[in-house]
């Protein structure tokens, strides 16, 4: 995981942040274990080579063959141990790759989930806006109808109903709605 990715963690959702932190911790631990294992492999390999060199020196000098064979057996045991450490090192690398793959999958799934949520919220908002526009249009139609039929003779009958409808219309309206409202307000005044 790159530094840039870590620095952008504040733009993640809580689930993405948790996955990122877990993946980073797992990858960091696996990297540290791999480095330690690599150092141990180098030490074991160097020690095994020393034993082989010593066994060769004994053989070249015509020394005790049992001692040389024991040194070679020690060298083989050290090399086997180094091989096991290398296998461990490979498993640490796999663990880091798996953690990164899991992190990427979690991020992908969370982004999909957030997109679905956003679409649902957008649909709700669109529906609410449509309902509000229909209600507004109905209120405008009512206002225009009342304004058209208002006259000195029927004004007293229509004023309470007209005030109720006029109050229901929001104050921030397009200009044609404002003009209608002003006409109604003049009648009411």
Phi, psi angles (nearest 5°) of residue 11: -95, 0
Write the DSSP assignment of 113-152 as a string of letters: HHHHHHHHHHHHHHHHHHHHHHHHHHHHHHHHHHHHH--T
Domain range list for the chain: 3-119, 131-188
How confident is the model over 33-53, as pLDDT tens digits?
888 888 888 898 999 889 889
How confident is the model over 119-148, as pLDDT tens digits?
888 888 888 877 777 877 787 777 777 766
Whether this prediction's pTM lies above 0.85 is answered by no
CA-based radius of gyration for the chain? 41
Phi, psi angles (nearest 5°) of residue 159: -60, -50
Rounded distance between C-alpha atoms, residue 71 and residue 55, angstroms: 6
């Amino acid at each position: 995981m790159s530094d840039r990715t870590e620095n952008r963690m504040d733009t993640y959702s809580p689930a993405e942040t948790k996955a990122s932190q877990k993946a980073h911790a797992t990858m960091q631990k696996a990297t540290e274990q791999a480095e330690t294992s690599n150092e141990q492999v180098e030490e074991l390999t160097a020690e095994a080579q020393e034993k082989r060199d010593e066994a060769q020196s004994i053989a070249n000098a015509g020394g005790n063959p049992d001692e040389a064979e024991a040194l070679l057996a020690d060298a083989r045991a050290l090399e086997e141990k180094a091989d096991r450490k290398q296998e461990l090192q490979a498993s640490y690398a796999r663990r880091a790759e798996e953690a990164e793959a899991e992190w990427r999958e979690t991020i992908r799934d969370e982004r999909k989930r957030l997109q679905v949520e956003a679409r649902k919220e957008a649909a709700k908002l669109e529906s609410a806006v449509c309902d509000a526009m229909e209600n507004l249009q109905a209120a405008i139609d009512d206002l225009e109808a009342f304004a058209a039929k208002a006259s000195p003779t029927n004004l007293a009958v229509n004023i309470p109903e007209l005030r109720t409808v006029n109050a229901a219309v929001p104050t921030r309206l397009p200009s044609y709605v404002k003009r209608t409202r002003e006409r109604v307000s003049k009648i009411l005044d």
